């Protein structure tokens, strides 16, 4: 998606060249990469942060050196860079509220969270926890942490589920976690209780398949057009547009009713299908 936008901006003469670096989850490596970019005098740095705090000093230095820095997806805590993201607390709140309503404010649930010590996971859970606190009859019988990957999530869910087979629902804060939970229920031929989700295609496919059997869910997305918005914001900022420092992109809502527009039967499980954001919406967000 980002590549398409780069190609478009190149033909418009707004981007001359573009390089991608991957830090492979090593934050020290990401810091070194940003340093190298500063020394090579790039005009714009787009960064998906490996740590919410550790990149602050280097990014602030890049800004001080006159580089336009736009951070997207996983956000840093410094306010000196332009940040394009979604509200992760609202994410957790949206999922939890739907589940609470679905259960009529009463029942036992398993919570599936991301890895401990990761801001995204902590923030989504914070939002969910706020909601669940309002429903004293909803009992969280297990709070599971897992990588945002199908295999470890399936193991984590299976052990929690075998200890609590009578649950009424699952709060999940990531698509692979939701897919793992749903898959386990389907495999063991158990009641398909409501499970909150994300636009992870593997989950969407299963949801679409089991909808007739009474499975119900809600999903949102960390839309991959965040990178496109980040790029557009950076280019606009270099061009003199007063781009806001914090761009909060609204969370999409995928429900039983509009699922068909999102699920992509012909695409692999690990894709994250999303409807592209119209250009006028992007322009509105970046203050054009």
In the complex, what is the shortest distance from the CB of residue 52 to other proteins, in angstroms, rounded to a whole number? 5
Indicate whether 118 belongs to the interface with other proteins (CB under 8 A).
yes
Give the whole-angstrom CA distance, residue 63 versus residue 107: 50
* CB of 24 or CB of 261, closer to other proteins: 24
Residue 69 has a CB neighbour count (10 Å cut-off) of 29
Give the whole-angstrom CA distance, residue 224 versus residue 41: 27
List 117, 136, 165, 278, residue binding other proteins (CB under 8 A): 117
Q: How many residues bind other proteins (CB under 8 A)?
A: 33
Indicate whether 143 belongs to the interface with other proteins (CB under 8 A).
no
In the complex, what is the shortest distance from the CB of residue 57 to other proteins, in angstroms, rounded to a whole number? 5
* Kind plus residue range of the DSSP H or E element containing 172: strand 169-172
Using CB under 8 A, which of the segments 7-15, 48-56, 198-206, 246-254 binds other proteins? 48-56
Cβ-count burial 14-43 (b if 16+ within 10 Å, e if not): ebeeeeeeebeeeeeebbebbeebbeeebe
Indicate whether 188 belongs to the interface with other proteins (CB under 8 A).
no
Helices (H), 2-47: 2-11, 27-39
Give the whole-angstrom CA distance, residue 245 versus residue 76: 12
Indicate whether 51 belongs to the interface with other proteins (CB under 8 A).
yes
* Integer CA distances (angstroms), 139 to 67, 75, 223, in order: 49, 31, 31
Binding string, 18-47, against other proteins, x = CB under 8 A? -xxxxxxxxxxx-xxx-xx--xx-------
Indicate whether 63 belongs to the interface with other proteins (CB under 8 A).
no
In the complex, what is the shortest distance from the CB of residue 155 to other proteins, in angstroms, rounded to a whole number? 16
Indicate whether 158 belongs to the interface with other proteins (CB under 8 A).
no
Indicate whether 66 belongs to the interface with other proteins (CB under 8 A).
no
In the complex, what is the shortest distance from the CB of residue 66 to other proteins, in angstroms, rounded to a whole number? 16
Give the whole-angstrom CA distance, residue 272 versus residue 223: 8
* CB of 67 or CB of 219, closer to other proteins: 67
Indicate whether 155 belongs to the interface with other proteins (CB under 8 A).
no
Indicate whether 152 belongs to the interface with other proteins (CB under 8 A).
no
In the complex, what is the shortest distance from the CB of residue 33 to other proteins, in angstroms, rounded to a whole number? 6
Cβ-count burial 224-246 (b if 16+ within 10 Å, e if not): bbbbbbbbbbbbbbeeeeebeee
- Both tokens of 179, joined, read 């897919």
In the complex, what is the shortest distance from the CB of residue 65 to other proteins, in angstroms, rounded to a whole number? 11
* CB of 12 or CB of 19, closer to other proteins: 19
Give the whole-angstrom CA distance, residue 232 versus residue 1: 12
Residues that bind other proteins (CB under 8 A): 19-29, 31-33, 35-36, 39-40, 51-57, 61, 77, 115-119, 122
């Amino acid at each position: 998606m980002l590549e398409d936008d780069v190609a478009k901006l190149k033909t418009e003469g707004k981007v001359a060249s573009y390089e991608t670096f991957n830090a492979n989850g090593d934050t020290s490596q990401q810091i070194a990469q940003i340093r190298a970019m500063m020394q090579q005098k790039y005009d714009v740095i787009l960064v998906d942060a490996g740590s919410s705090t550790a990149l602050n000093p280097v990014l602030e230095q890049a800004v001080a050196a006159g580089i336009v820095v736009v951070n997207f997806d996983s956000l840093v805590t410094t306010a000196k860079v332009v940040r394009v993201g979604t509200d992760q607390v609202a994410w957790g709140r949206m999922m939890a509220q739907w589940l609470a309503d679905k259960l009529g404010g009463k029942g036992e649930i398993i919570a599936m969270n991301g890895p401990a010590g990761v801001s995204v996971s902590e923030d989504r859970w914070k939002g969910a926890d706020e909601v669940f606190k309002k429903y004293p009859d909803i009992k969280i019988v297990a709070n599971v942490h897992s990588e945002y990957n199908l295999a470890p999530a399936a193991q984590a869910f299976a052990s929690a589920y075998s200890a609590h087979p009578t649950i009424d629902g699952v709060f999940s804060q990531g698509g692979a976690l939701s897919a793992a939970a749903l898959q386990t229920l389907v495999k063991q031929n158990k009641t398909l209780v409501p499970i909150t989700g994300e636009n992870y295609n593997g989950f969407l496919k299963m949801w679409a398949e089991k909808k007739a059997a009474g499975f119900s869910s809600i999903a949102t997305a960390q839309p991959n057009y965040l990178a496109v918005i980040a790029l557009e914001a950076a280019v606009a900022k270099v061009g003199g547009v007063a781009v806001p420092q914090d761009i909060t992109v609204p969370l999409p809502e995928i429900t039983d009713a509009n699922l068909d527009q999102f699920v992509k039967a012909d695409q692999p499980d690990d894709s994250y299908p999303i409807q592209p954001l119209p250009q006028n919406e992007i322009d509105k967000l970046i203050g054009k």
